[in-house]
Amino acid sequence: MNKCFHYNDDPYIIKYDVDKTDLSNKDNQKLINQAIQSYDDYFWKDGCKEWEIQRYSCLMRQTPETDKLSKLFYKIIKSHFLNIETIDSNVLKSKLPLDNVNFINEPWTYVSTKDKYVSEWHSHVSRYTINMVYYATMPDKTATLSLIDRGNKEKEIELSERLMVMFPGWVIHKPNPPLKSNKPRVCINIGYFSLNSPVLHVHNMHTNPSATFMDTYNLKYINW
CATH code for position 62: 2.60.120.620
The pLDDT tens digits of the residues spanning 8-19 come to 567 889 999 999
Is the model's pTM score more than 0.85? yes
> What pLDDT score does 116 carry?
85
The pLDDT tens digits for 77-108 are 998 898 898 888 888 888 888 887 878 989 99
- Quick: pLDDT tens for 137-171: 999 999 999 999 888 899 999 999 999 999 999 99
C-alpha to C-alpha distance for 144 and 141, rounded to whole angstroms: 7
- pLDDT for 222 equals 85
Are the C-beta atoms of 166 and 134 separated by less than 8 Å?
no
pLDDT of residue 217: 58
The fraction of the chain above a pLDDT of 70, given in percent, is 83
Between 5 and 73, name the one with better pLDDT. Answer: 73
pLDDT at 213 (0 to 100): 52
Instruction: Report yes or no: 60 and 38 within 8 Å, Cβ to Cβ.
Output: yes
Question: Taking Cα atoms as reference points, which of 103, 100, 105, 29 lies closest to residue 68?
Answer: 105
User: Beta strands 81-82 and 145-148: pairing type?
Assistant: unpaired
4 vs 164: CA distance, rounded Å: 10
**195 and 129 Cβ atoms separated by less than 8 Å:** no
Average confidence score pLDDT of the chain: 85
- By DSSP bridging, strand 185-192 and strand 154-157 are unpaired
- What would the DSSP string read from start to end of 21-57? TTS-HHHHHHHHHHHHHHHHHHTSSTT--GGGGT---
The whole domain housing 102 covers: 5-223
Query: Which of 205, 222, 216 lies closest to 168, judged by CA?
Result: 222
Please report the pLDDT score of residue 6 as a whole number.
64
Three-class secondary structure of residue 14 per DSSP = strand
Residue 39: its pLDDT value, please? 82
The more confident residue out of 136 and 93 is: 136
The total of structural domains in the chain comes to: 1
Whether the CB-CB separation of 220 and 201 falls below 8 Å is answered with yes
Cα gap 116→187, rounded to integer Å: 14
Yes or no: say if 191 and 131 are a contact pair by the CB < 8 Å rule: yes
